[in-house]
């Protein structure tokens, strides 16, 4: 494990405890833009939302954590002034609080799940272990190079310093940053949807089909966590021969079968939320992939549902989440309509 990940894991519980008395409210890009532009829109509801969020934050009732997904979507904005205005709002209302990447979260939740089944005691639940600061999560350009030149004694001090730097400061020179241009390949997605439209007869089959593909992306992480568990139990890393007996493929098959038999629900959030949402996009025969942002939307949902109390997002994403009952499964209130968002904020 890298020094950075070791530091993040050591600090995560302290960071969670610092904010645990507040409501965790996750905003996707739509609502960060509303916070930025709402006062100029002439929309009274937008103005009230902005004022209410300001009041709740100043009163210490809420924190608005972000993810690397929020950061990259903000970086899609080609207008330097608007991008920096968005970053200033993120600095203020998130205080730099961020969830670790979806891959890192998977590793934490898988590790917790397997240790719980092995009846290992004194485990800390994943929801308390996925917190860090945004500069560390995104690995701000230059951190790694600067870190290499430091002695081991300075590592912690360096990461303490890096975690406290506002995004506004690191992004003040906009010429350093090209707008993020990552998009889904909508042509390939629409072609694949049409080609395999009759492959699954039930939505459960569709979900399992998506899961079988989705879980392959995490096999390396599964093996890494199994090696870590071996180290904890035996005091050394396993040999290649020892790893041959228990490998990621076995666990992938086990997890898929447990989902098939409804023996897993919300224990491995990313493996539930991702395939369910991607599956529903395919299951709806009339839906066409259009803007190339579906993966970003699924990642927003994965970050928000399993870690936050509230999620304010786009209408379509909320509709899918509610249809799949993911909001109930993860005990997260999800709203998209600004009037309903205002009602929720007023209820705090």
Whether residue 326 is predicted with pLDDT greater than 70 in this model: the reply is yes
Please tell me the distance from the alpha carbon of residue 330 to that of residue 333, in angstroms, as a whole number: 9
In which band, very low, low, confident or very high, does the pLDDT at 63 lie, cut at 50, 70 and 90? very high
**pLDDT of 158:** 85
Q: What is the dihedral of CA 190, 191, 196, 201, to 10 degrees?
A: 20
pLDDT of residue 190: 83
Q: Based on the structure, what is the number of domains in the chain?
A: 1
Domain extent, residue 341, equals: 3-346
- Asked whether residue 64 carries a pLDDT value surpassing 60, the answer given is yes
DSSP collapsed to 3 states, the chain: CCHHHHHHHHHHHHHHHHHCCCEEEEECHHHHHHHHHHHHHCCHHHHHHHHHHHHHHHCCCEECCECHHHHHHHCCCCCHHHHHHHHHHHHHHHCCEEECCHHHHHHHHHHHHHHHHCCCCCCCCHHHCCEEEHHHHHCCCCHHHHHHCCCHHHHHHHHHHHHCCCHHHHCCCHHHCCCCCCCCCHHHHHHHHHHCCCCCCCHHHHHHHHHHHHHHHHHHHHHHHHHHHHHHHHCCCCCHHHHHHCCHHHHHHHHHHHHHCCCCCCCCHHHHHHHHHHHHHHHCCCCCCCCCCHHHHHHHHHHHHHHCCEEECCHHHHHHHHHCCHHHHCCCEEECCHHHHHHHHHCC
Across the strands, what pairs with 62? Answer: 23
**What is residue 313's predicted lDDT score, i.e. its pLDDT?**
98
pLDDT at 217: 94
**Across residues 85-90, what is the average pLDDT?**
95
Of 162-166, 260-264, 294-298, the range with the lowest mean pLDDT is 162-166
Average pLDDT, the chain: 90
Mean pLDDT of 215-241: 88
According to the model, what pLDDT value does residue 339 have?
A: 97
Rounded mean pLDDT, 243-270:
92
Model pLDDT for residues 88-114, shown as the tens digit of each residue: 999 999 999 999 999 999 999 999 999
213-226 residue pLDDT tens: 999 999 999 999 98
Q: Identify the pLDDT of residue 28.
A: 95
pLDDT confidence of residue 146 = 65
**296-301 long-range contacts, CB within 8 A, separation 24+:** 296/69, 296/72, 296/73, 296/182, 297/28, 298/273, 298/274, 299/67, 299/69, 299/102, 300/26, 300/28, 300/67, 300/69, 300/70, 301/273, 301/277, 301/326
97-99 and 62-63 strand pairing: unpaired
Position 238 scores a pLDDT of: 79
Q: Please check the confidence at residue 141 and state whether its pLDDT lies above 60.
A: no
- Asked if 233 contacts 302 with a C-beta cutoff of 8 angstroms, the reply is no
pLDDT value for 144: 57
In this structure, of 28-37, 64-73, 154-163, 256-265, the range with the lowest mean pLDDT score is 154-163
Percent of the residues in the chain that have a pLDDT greater than 90, as a whole number: 67
- pLDDT bucket at 18, cuts 50 / 70 / 90: very high
How high is the pLDDT of residue 1? 60
Q: How far apart are CA 267 and CA 248, in angstroms?
A: 18
């Amino acid at each position: 494990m890298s020094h950075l990940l070791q530091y993040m894991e050591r600090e995560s519980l302290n960071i969670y405890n610092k904010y645990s008395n507040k409501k965790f409210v996750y905003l996707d890009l739509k609502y960060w833009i509303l916070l930025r532009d709402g006062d100029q829109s002439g929309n009274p509801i937008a103005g009230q939302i902005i004022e209410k969020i300001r009041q709740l934050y100043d009163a210490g009732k809420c924190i608005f954590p972000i993810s690397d997904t929020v950061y990259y979507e903000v970086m899609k904005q080609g207008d330097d002034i608007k991008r920096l205005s968005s970053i200033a709002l993120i600095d203020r209302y998130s205080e730099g609080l961020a969830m670790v990447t979806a891959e890192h979260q998977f590793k934490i939740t898988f590790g917790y799940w397997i240790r719980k089944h092995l009846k290992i005691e004194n485990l800390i639940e994943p929801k308390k272990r996925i917190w860090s600061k945004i500069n560390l999560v995104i690995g701000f350009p230059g951190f790694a190079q600067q870190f290499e030149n430091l002695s081991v004694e300075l590592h912690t001090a360096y990461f303490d310093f890096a975690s406290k730097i506002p995004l506004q400061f690191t992004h003040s020179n906009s010429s350093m940053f090209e707008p993020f241009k990552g998009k889904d390949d909508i042509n390939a997605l629409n072609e694949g949807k049409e080609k395999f439209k009759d492959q699954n007869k039930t939505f459960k089959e569709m979900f399992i089909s998506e899961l079988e593909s989705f879980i392959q992306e995490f096999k390396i992480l599964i093996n890494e966590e199994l090696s870590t568990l071996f180290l904890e139990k035996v005091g050394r890393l396993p040999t290649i021969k020892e790893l041959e007996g228990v490998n990621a493929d076995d666990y992938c098959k086990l997890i898929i079968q447990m989902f098939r038999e409804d023996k897993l629900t919300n224990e491995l959030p990313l493996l539930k939320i991702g395939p369910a949402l991607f599956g529903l996009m395919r299951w709806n025969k009339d839906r066409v992939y259009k803007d190339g942002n579906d993966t970003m939307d699924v990642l927003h949902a994965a970050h928000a549902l399993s870690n936050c109390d509230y999620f304010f997002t786009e209408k379509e994403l909320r509709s899918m989440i509610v249809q799949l009952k993911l909001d109930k499964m993860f005990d997260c209130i999800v709203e998209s309509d600004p009037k309903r968002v205002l009602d929720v904020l007023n209820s705090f």
